Amino acid sequence: MAKNQKSAFKYQLYLAGGIGIWKDFFKPKYSEFFNKKVYLFEPGSLGGPSDHRFMPIGIACYDLNEINHADALLVYMKKYRPADGSPTGTDSTWECGYAISQSKPIIMLIEDLDHLDYYNLQWMVSFSINAVLTTDEKVAETCRNHPKFVHTTVLYAPSKNQLESKIIEYLTNYYRSIYSRSGIINYQVDERARDLFGEKRLAEMTFTETTADKTIYKLLTGLKQCRFNNDSDYLKVCEIERKVSAHLRNRLTEKNINSALAAVIKHWAPKKENIVSILKHSIVPPFLKIKNRHAGIIKTRPELFFELYDLVNHHLIREQKFIKDPDFPYEMGAIIELYNWMNTYSLDDTFDSSDYRQNIPTVWKQFGRRNAIFTGLTGHLLALKYLFLIARPKPQLAERLAGILNDYNELMYQGQVLDLKLTFSSSQKKKLLNKLGLRAICKLYIKRIYGICGGFYEAVGELAAQAGNKEAQVLNGKQIDKISPLIGLYYGLIQMIRNDLADYLVIEKISGMSHSMKGISHSDIKEGKIDLPYSIAFYSSKLDKKEKRFLFTALADKELSAKDKLHINELLWKSGAIDLTVDLIINLASHVKTTLLTEYQETPTRMKWMFSLVDITKEILIPFKSLALSHGWVKYQYDRKLLRTISDLILQLESTPRPKRIK
């Protein structure tokens, strides 16, 4: 069939199967039902010899080209003895393996239960099947409950005339899911969140008839005199959060969490309905339902959890999973996001005096600083309690998961202390910049972003590794325990560094990319926060004293004009700080892809989700380049040694001791 004729079809398939099998079985039974809506290339139609020893090399090259251009493989293999006595199926299995390496979906045509058993024996092939196509109802029903095919999509066509339609429907959904997978995950997380965090259930989870924990109640007494508008008060909040986590470690039960919640509520003291309203407001942005949209707002932490969890649980039947409820990974994502917004952002926005997140007033802005602080304290404990709710069938697992999140809470508030230290919001604090130097600032910055972001993603990776029965699917369970948190760690650092850089994206005029979650560009600079690109520029030998003085003065200037913002970007561009930061991001993503993701025992068609998730491109450079070209900015090459130094400082985090977990 000519190339232009092929293009008339929506999808192109390659038939993988022996020539003898095609000639004796497939051609008389199935060929007439294809090439009406779907183009199917049948290698046997090329007329090659039945004795493969005399097969022309040109046919092999032609077949390979057809696989490369196919949208999927239709596989029809069965027991068969070739005329030359060679092993059966060798060519077909090679074709399947090659297509899998190219991330092309594999559809198996299965006729009856004996045929299904044949594929069951081809265990490396069955492991990689994407879909089963059959006209036999018994085959369809058996596949849905078969341990080897639990991960496959079953395409049941009651008649052969429906084979093409079933394939079209499947491939349309398959290729749509490549681009909409993120939205689908987030939509499911949102659906579970609206049930878990509805007003009635939220009130039930927050208010319990139990005695307040005396230790925590005493700790919170230290907040009575705080006005929550200065570093001293914020440091006290961080200290209390760390002590609450330390107090709960190794005694995480629902009873103890309820007692801790009672202590917080007793100190907080507003009316019950007011507390619920404040808590609900804290989680409005991530779970906001958007009219006429069937996908959730992007939430990277739940996505990361889902993908890492799915990698080592995808092939398990329901009975093999720790938590059999199919909603479990989405509920985990919802709880992770609740912790992120109700705890992390409620407190962080108060410390930074940030007015908005995703164009919605922050908790402190809407309800005052004290209410925001107690929202954060409550969010920490509620997240732990919700973990016990969704993992109730397996209490030991709930305790393990709660332990991971509780330990991170202690780490995060160490990071918040560094965040305050690196916020040069006064002339006195800004003087420290000249004393510290670039290396010291970089070390502090890396510790800061690890504490407030990288460590959280690391915890998400550990939650994913521990939440599923990975040993039932993979042989390297201990390695998964090690690499999943590291993938999370690097993904969090990549996101944080990229978000810091995106904070300089002035402006909607030059880019469709969103700027910071806080709704304004240069928000970190206005708050007095030092990030990586700003630090590199400030200490760069490429800038003169006047330029450095401008950067020094601009820091913590809440009245930055559009001209000031543009000049800041010019100096970051001139010093090479933007290029260095982008190259650092790309290097970190490459490290994850080449040294960590390769440890997973999965096929390329499965791994592409994770590769896609961590892949960060140079797209973020485009708006900066546009500005540079339009204004004629000069750019100097950054110091390659500095890139290696910063990379090495980040890689050292891999050897940082981790807390011992409950087994």
Q: How far apart are CA 131 and CA 170, in angstroms?
A: 8
Q: What is the pLDDT of residue 364?
A: 97
Tell me if 433 sits within 8 A of 538, measured CB to CB: yes
Q: Tell me whether the CATH fold assigned to 3-179 matches the one assigned to 184-217+231-655.
A: no
Element (DSSP H or E) covering residue 261: helix 254-268
CA–CA dist 320, 549 (Å, integer): 63
Could you give phi then psi for residue 276, rounded to 5 degrees?
-60, -40
3 state DSSP class of 129: coil
| 155: β partners | 133
What's residue 657's pLDDT? 73
**Long-range contacts, stretch 59-66, CB < 8 angstroms, 24+ apart:** 63/14, 63/95, 64/98, 66/14, 66/41
For 473-534, give the secondary structure using H, E and C.
Answer: CCCCHHHHHHHHHHHHHHHHHHHHHHHHHHCCCCCCCCCCCCCCCCCCCCHHHHHCECCHHH
Cα–Cα distances (Å) from 18 to 52, 279, 606, in that order, read: 10, 63, 27
Q: For position 427, what pLDDT does the model report? A: 84
Top-tier CATH class for 184-217+231-655: mainly alpha
Domain map (residue ranges) of the chain = 3-179, 184-217+231-655
| 422-453 pLDDT per residue, tens | 999 888 888 888 888 999 999 999 999 999 99
Token code pair at residue 314: 């995808």
CB of 388 within 8 A of CB of 398?
A: yes
Residue among 495, 525, 532 at smallest CA distance from 620: 495
Residues of the chain with pLDDT under 70: 1-4, 50, 81-89, 178-179, 290-295, 506-519, 658-663
Structure tokens belonging to residue 44: 């046997």
pLDDT at position 273 is 95
pLDDT of residue 202: 97
* Contact between 575 and 537 (Cβ < 8 Å): yes
Q: Please give the pLDDT value at position 179.
A: 66
Query: What backbone phi and psi angles, to 5 degrees, belong to 133?
Result: -110, 125
Percentage of the chain surpassing pLDDT 70? Answer: 93
Cα dihedral 314, 320, 322, 323, rounded to 10, equals 70
Give yes or no for a contact between 298 and 182, defined as CB atoms under 8 angstroms apart. Answer: yes
DSSP 3-state assignment of 37? Answer: coil
**H or E element that contains 571:** helix 562-575
3-state SS, residue 109: strand
590 in helix, strand or coil? Answer: helix
DSSP state of 615: -
pLDDT reported for residue 94:
87
Which two three-digit tokens encode residue 17?
Answer: 């199967």
Helices (H) and strands (E) in the chain, counts: 34, 8
360 has which bridge partners?
Answer: 357
**Tokens 């892949």, residue?**
615
The CA distance from 179 to 593, in Å, is 20
The first and second tokens of residue 28, run together, are 């008389």
Residues 248 and 407 sit within 8 Å (Cβ to Cβ): no
Give the number of other Cβ atoms within 10 Å of residue 627's Cβ. 20
- Rounded Cα distance, 225 and 273, in Å: 25
How do 12-16 and 106-109 pair as beta strands?
unpaired
Look at residue 312 in the predicted model and tell me its pLDDT. 92
For the chain, what's the residue count? 663
Mean pLDDT of the residues in the chain: 90
- Asked if 600 and 658 touch (Cβ cutoff 8 Å), the reply is no
What amino acid is encoded at 614 in this protein?
V
Chain segment 34-93, per-residue pLDDT in tens: 999 999 999 989 887 767 778 888 888 999 999 999 999 999 998 876 665 655 567 788
The answer, as to whether pTM is greater than 0.75, is yes
What's CA 236's distance to the chain center, in Å?
32
What is the C-alpha R_g of the chain?
Answer: 29
Helix (H, G, I), strand (E, B), or coil: what is residue 106?
Answer: strand
The residue type found at 430 is K
Which residues have CB under 8 Å from 359's CB, separation 6+? 519
Among the four given CATH numbers 1.10.3470, 3.30.420, 3.40.50, 3.30.70, the one describing domain 3-179: 3.40.50
d(CA 110, CA 116): 6
Return d(Cα 147, Cα 319) in angstroms, integer.
10
> What is the 3 state secondary structure string of 52-82?
HHHCCHHHHHHHHHHHHHCCEEEECCCCCCC
